[in-house]
Every structure is written in structure tokens, then in C-alpha cells.
């Protein structure tokens, strides 16, 4: 997961890399810069195949989260594979800068703790356990590879859950006028 992209330059075809300070891609060969439209939910597919999905066994798609961190996503089940440090840093940043009201997450089915998935990188059994922070989610982690697997919607639930580390939501005049 160290290679953030397989995006190629539209001008010369050379591989492009994320720009260090902007949500854009830069070509080292011809210096072209590509700045795509903002990503939905902060996830932008960059193309290329990654590991196999631990849930549906299809190839994951390489992507970036918030135009900064390399992740892999499953187009079929909508799961996300990401480094543990990326999960922690992005979750913390999003909770601190939240602009929507927090939500009480629905209870998670305890049966989710019984499932077993294998790490897409090393093949070892991932540890399936509660995420002991806001969100009421079950996550899968591989300590050896330092990776986290999140099922569809779990990242958003953790971001939106109420807690002392989440920025309080203050309604604006526009929010008050909506019925």
C-alpha cells in the first residue's frame, strides 16, 4: 500500500504522484499537474488493482483518502483497507472539524465479532474486535501489517458519533430555516 497511485499523466503517460501541499497530481517527467474534482466522502479512486478484498475476494481499487493518504477500496462491498496510522489521523482530524450534528450510532450486531477475515497483505487472520472509541463499530486489524479493514459505512459512523473529542455542531441561520 505504499504506492499511492497508478494514475498516469494524460500528456506523456508517465506515473504521477500526489502533490505535497495540494489535492493534485504532478508528473515528474513533464511537470503536468492534474487537479480532479473534489472526492465524494474524501475517497478518490486512482485506479489500478490492489490486494484482494477480505470480504468478497475481488480486487481492491487503489484510492486516496482526503487526497493525502493511500488506501484501497472495494467497489463491490464498499469496504476500506487502510494503514492504522492513516485511520487514526484521518478520524481524529474529521471529528475535530465536523460541520454536521453528531449522531447516535445504531447498535452493532454482536455476531459481527464472530466473523473471520484474512489480511489482504500477509494472509494472516485479522483480529476482529470492537473499536473502543465512539461509533459502535467492529473493525478488523492486522498487527503485523499495521492495517485496518472497515466495512461499508463504519468510518462515517465513527466520525459522526458523539463524543468529547468531536467538534460541537453550532447551527447557522440557514440550518434553522430548514423545516
Alpha-carbon Rg for the chain in angstroms: 18
For the stretch 31-61, pLDDT in tens is 887 766 655 678 888 888 999 999 988 999 9
pLDDT for res 81: 96
DSSP 175: H
Q: What is the pLDDT of residues 110-152, one digit of tens each?
A: 888 998 999 999 999 999 999 988 888 999 999 999 999 999 8
What is the average per-residue pLDDT within 60-79? Answer: 89
**DSSP secondary structure, 96-121, as one string:** HT--S--BPPPPPPGGGGG---B-TT
Q: What is the DSSP letter of 56?
A: T
Cα torsion 52, 56, 61, 65: sign: negative
C-alpha cell at 10: 494524460
pTM of the predicted model as reported, rounded to 2 decimal places: 0.73
- Give the C-alpha separation, 35 to 19, whole Å: 10
**pLDDT value at position 179?**
47
Across the range 78-90, mean pLDDT stands at 93
Confidence of residue 21 (pLDDT cuts 50, 70, 90): low
Written as nine digits, the cell of 123 is: 494472509
User: In angstroms, rounded to a whole number, what is the distance separating the alpha carbons of residues 142 and 152?
Assistant: 18
Identify the DSSP state of 58: S
Q: Diameter of the chain by CA atoms? A: 53
- Give domain limits for the chain: 1-36, 41-177
- The number of C-alpha atoms within 13 Å of 52 and in the hemisphere containing its C-beta is 9
Q: 177 to each of 78, 99, 100, 102, 174, how far by Cα in Å?
A: 34, 17, 16, 19, 5
User: What is the average pLDDT value for the chain, to the nearest integer?
Assistant: 84
pLDDT for res 134: 81
Amino acid at each position: 500500500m505504499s504506492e499511492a497511485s497508478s494514475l498516469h499523466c494524460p500528456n506523456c503517460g508517465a506515473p504521477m504522484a500526489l502533490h505535497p501541499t495540494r489535492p493534485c497530481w504532478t508528473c515528474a517527467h513533464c511537470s503536468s499537474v492534474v487537479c480532479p474534482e473534489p472526492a465524494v466522502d474524501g475517497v478518490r479512486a486512482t485506479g489500478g488493482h490492489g490486494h484482494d478484498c477480505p470480504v468478497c475476494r475481488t480486487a481492491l481499487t487503489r484510492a486516496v483518502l482526503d487526497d493525502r493518504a493511500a488506501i484501497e477500496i472495494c467497489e463491490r462491498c464498499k469496504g476500506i483497507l487502510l494503514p492504522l496510522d492513516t485511520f487514526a489521523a484521518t478520524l481524529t482530524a474529521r471529528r475535530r472539524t465536523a460541520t454536521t450534528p453528531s449522531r447516535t450510532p445504531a447498535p452493532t450486531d454482536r455476531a459481527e465479532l464472530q466473523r473471520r477475515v484474512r489480511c489482504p497483505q500477509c494472509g494472516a487472520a485479522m483480529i476482529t474486535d470492537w473499536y473502543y472509541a465512539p461509533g459502535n463499530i467492529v473493525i478488523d486489524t492486522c498487527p503485523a501489517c499495521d492495517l485496518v479493514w472497515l466495512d461499508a459505512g463504519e468510518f462515517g459512523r465513527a466520525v459522526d458519533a458523539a463524543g468529547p473529542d468531536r467538534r460541537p455542531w453550532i447551527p447557522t441561520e440557514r440550518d434553522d430555516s430548514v423545516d
